[in-house]
Amino acid sequence: MTKAIIVVSFGTTYPETRKKTIQACEETIQQRFPDFQVHRAFTSNVVIKRIKENEGISVPTVNQLLEQLKKDGVKEVYIQPLHIILGSEYEKVVHQANQFKEDFELLKIGKPLLFSEEDYENVANILVKEYNNNDVDEATILMGHGSQHYAFTAYAALDHMLTDEAVYIGCVESYPPVELLEKRLEAKGIKKVHLAPFMLVAGDHATNDLCSDEEGSWKHFFTEKGYQVETHLIGLGEYPSVQELYVQHLEKIIQ
């Protein structure tokens, strides 16, 4: 088989959510493109190292995988990142792939979840469908990772598009911060908060920074402020509608 797809994500050390999200996306892609061999790659060297140590599983980086595909005589390679924004992890994929441009007849990279205005609208619609509450005193706060990269503005743009909904986007490592969201909830008289990750996987950040009872978590923050809190450990990759958006991005570069 001379055509390959690389499905690349940051990765996660949590096997259960990895299966429900990353593997689910890979399987959906394989079903839609049966004439391609589908491979997994991660961008986080720390995650790769821990999985090797804890599970004995070796996951390659993009450049390691491209090196192998070159040796195997693959001619066409399509890379579909499962990243959320055009941030530093996405740029890492592009940088590694560009080193192999001359080694394949065709080497293309798809866009992350949030790229075009249409992407934002599609994702906003999915979030409203999955998380909007009919009760006037309830709201859902979704925790994005955030970024020091200039693409951090993607989260604020999506949050702005959800202004008329009871769904909010905040970030654990950049803007919008949880404190700002809480002020908006207080102004609207919200009494109950649903917390869920706005991340591909429900891994370390979702488990510890979002849903744990430890001081510093968002659950602890809202509980201390007097809200009733319900947590939902569901990664975005679990939703078939989100998987479909990644498939559409891949279709664009394959066509």
pLDDT interval class at 137 (50, 70, 90): very high
Residue 58: pLDDT above 90?
A: yes
Does the annotation list 170 as a binding residue? no
Alpha-carbon distance 105 to 91, whole Å?
A: 22
Q: Left (φ > 0), alpha (ψ -120 to 50) or beta: where does 5 sit? A: beta
The model's pLDDT over 74-94, given as tens digits with 9 standing for 90+, comes to 999 999 999 999 999 999 999
Give the mean pLDDT of the chain. Answer: 94
Q: Is there a binding annotation on residue 131?
A: no
203 carries a ligand binding annotation = no
Mean per-residue pLDDT for 113-135? 93
**228-231 sheet: strands from edge to edge:** 167-171, 138-144, 192-197, 228-231
- Threshold 0.85, pTM exceeds: yes
Q: Is 160 annotated as a binding residue?
A: no
Our CA dihedral for 211, 55, 57, 201, rounded to 10 degrees, sits at -10
Band of residue 252 on the pLDDT scale cut at 50, 70, 90: very high
10 is in an annotated binding site: yes
pLDDT of residue 186: 94
List active site positions.
Answer: 145
The number of beta carbons lying within 10 Å of the beta carbon of residue 251 is 14
Query: Mean pLDDT, to the nearest integer, of 173-200?
Result: 94
pLDDT at 132 over 90: no
Angle, vertex CA 249, rays to CA 4 and CA 87, nearest 5: 95
**CB 115, CB 85: distance < 8 Å:** no
Which residue bears the tokens 């491979």? Answer: 39
Residue 174, Cβ neighbours under 10 Å: how many?
Answer: 18
225 is in an annotated binding site: no
- Domains belonging to the chain, first-starting first, are 3-113+238-252 (3.40.50.1400), 117-235 (3.40.50.1400)
Largest Cα–Cα distance of the chain, in whole Å?
Answer: 61
Confidence (pLDDT) at 53: 96
Pairing outcome for strands 76-81 and 106-109? parallel
Percent of all residues in the chain with a pLDDT value above 70, rounded to a whole number: 100
pLDDT at 133 over 80: no
DSSP result, the chain:
--EEEEEEE---S-HHHHIIIIIHHHHHHHHH-TTSEEEEEES-HHHHHHHHHHH------HHHHHHHHHHTT--EEEEEE--SSSSHHHHHHHHHHHTTGGGSSEEEE---SS-SHHHHHHHHHHHHHHH--SSTTEEEEEEE---SSGGGHHHHHHHHHTTTTTEEEEESSSSSPHHHHHHHHHHTT--EEEEEE-SSS--HIIIIIIT-SSTTSHHHHHHHTT-EEEE----GGG-HHHHHHHHHHHHHHH-
pLDDT at 1 over 80: no
Confidence (pLDDT) at 179: 94
pLDDT of 135 = 80
Question: How many other C-beta atoms are found inside a 10 Å radius of the C-beta of residue 128?
Answer: 16
